[in-house]
Amino acid sequence: MSYFKRLLVFVIVFFITACNSKKEKSIGAQVDTKPNVLILLTDQWRAQATGYAGDVNVSTPNLDSLAAMSINFKNAVSGMPVCSPFRASLLTGQRPLTHGVFMNDVQLDTNAVTMAKVFAKEGYNTGYIGKWHLDGHGRLQNVAPGKRRQGFQYWKGNECTHNYNESVYYDNDNPNRKVWDGYDTFKQTDAAIEYFNDKKGSKNPFLMILSYGTPHAPYHTAPEEYKSRFKAEEIKLRKNVPENLKKKAKKDLAGYYAHIAAIDDMIGKVIKNLKNTGLIENTIIVFTADHGDLLGSHGAYKKQQPYEESARVPMLYYLPEKYKIKKGERDALINSEDIMPTLLSLCEISIPDTVEGLDYRAYLEGKADIGKSTLLTCVQPFGQWNRIKYGGREYRALKTLKYTYARDLNGPWLLFDNEKDPYQMNNLVGNETFASLQKDLDGQLRKRLEDTGDEFLPGIEYIRKWGYPIDETGTVPYTH
């Protein structure tokens, strides 16, 4: 071979090798820079109760700041607005009739394909701090290490407690019961920050769920410095609170807002730490709640019902600059089961076939038009909305950008124009003027139920299928 031919071969080989090396480095860089994921989960925080949502009763400067640099899904909903069903949908990306957690105090199948298991398989460190409510072995009992923790490696949690001062938790593999020192919202925040600091130099990204128990009732147990900021007589109520509940609602809302103000300060503390350590530059942050709280609206308290105060939740997605996704409000009706697939997609992780929720990444990038309607469901009314005591009912509802339409087992139940009637005080079911609209929405709802395999049976049928024990009120009894 001549000198020039040998030189040409050398140049070609060198070029190919260099290109492959560059490609390998590029791929390695992508792996090394997979984003961290932090989910800030609160309990019973309705969408209306933030400064950025326009609530005149409370100041949430830290959340307002987070909202300003995030995508705000202003119409986000909890598809089954009660604790355990939302949490199971968050972790599995499935609807309640699929994962089977349609009531509180039952166990999520330990063989479920969960968010934590999928992230861990991709090399993520996974951690959980705070309220769990997916184990079904008693509210103050340990969620034992292994399968029952559903893929979370780091653990400082409790099954469920509403005692927010000196509350119970379990620390990783230690089977002995521990107690948070003081108000648990503060101490859980400190534990999360310690976790972030420990993971700062790690080659592996993290998935962390920081699950606060507040602002769920009891409403009057926040630290005094926060309670003193809110006076019951100064609270401005929503227009749909009836006269006989106004005094009680004002008092309870004062305490509710005190919890919210405390969480807002803690979220500010978390964000400050992420900024100071540089982690925020590669961390996706989701702020949301498992459901809302009626707090007197429509003459009721707490959740389960399809009204705005119960079913609509705050949902912010902070995305690092590398995504180049426009910040600001989005109209889409993102639901509980949509969170897992959206996060997996944003992290370039394959979405398991078990997932039923929608991937909203293309929507965020302006490449898809989805989220114009979604489902709200109550499979079995229980607890504060049990059938016997409070007239609870099974329902299936279609929520669109403009309307909420619900059927119970007897037929059409509710129809609201949420634009003209934001407090949902004028039920249009049976109104001849809206007969055509009601028929159209009913058809859409029936089609959605057919597409999702929901036969809409009485709740007792599903209870029998899953073998859940219930008491005389239709509630799964629990122990502490």
CA atoms of 79 and 403, how far apart (whole Å)? 15
Choose the catalytic residue: 83, 160, 347, 378.
Answer: 83
Tokens describing residue 399: 């929520």
Neighbours of 91 (CB within 10 A): 26
pLDDT at 2: 53
Which among 160, 138, 161, 150 has a CA at the least distance from the CA of 476? 138
CA atoms of 312 and 474, how far apart (whole Å)? 25
pTM for this predicted structure = 0.92
Written out in words, the top-level CATH class of the domain with range 33-366 is alpha beta
Cβ–Cβ under 8 Å, residues 164 and 186: no
% helix, strand, coil for the chain, step of 5: 40, 15, 45
pLDDT at 18: 44
Q: In which order are the strands placed within the sheet that holds 178-179? A: 178-179, 168-171, 154-158, 125-131, 206-215, 36-43, 283-289, 315-318, 71-73, 328-330
The answer to whether domain 376-466 has CATH 3.40.50.10810 is no
Tokens describing residue 156: 């400082």
pLDDT at 12: 46
Q: Pinpoint the alpha helices (H) of 213-359.
A: 224-227, 246-277, 308-311, 339-346
CA-to-CA separations, 262 to 128, 379, 403, in angstroms, rounded = 20, 34, 34
- Residues in the chain predicted with pLDDT less than 70, given as ranges, are 1-32
Rounded to 5°, angle at Cα 473 from 467 and 474:
25
Q: Any catalytic annotation for residue 291?
A: no
Task: Give the amino acid at 149.
Answer: R
CA atoms of 74 and 70, how far apart (whole Å)? 12
Which among 228, 226, 230, 267 has a CA at the least distance from the CA of 252? 230
Choose the catalytic residue: 99, 133, 259, 298.
Answer: 133
Cite the residue boundaries of each domain of the chain with CATH code 3.30.1120.10.
376-466
Q: Any catalytic annotation for residue 83?
A: yes
pLDDT at 86: 98
Cite the residue boundaries of each domain of the chain with CATH code 3.40.720.10.
33-366
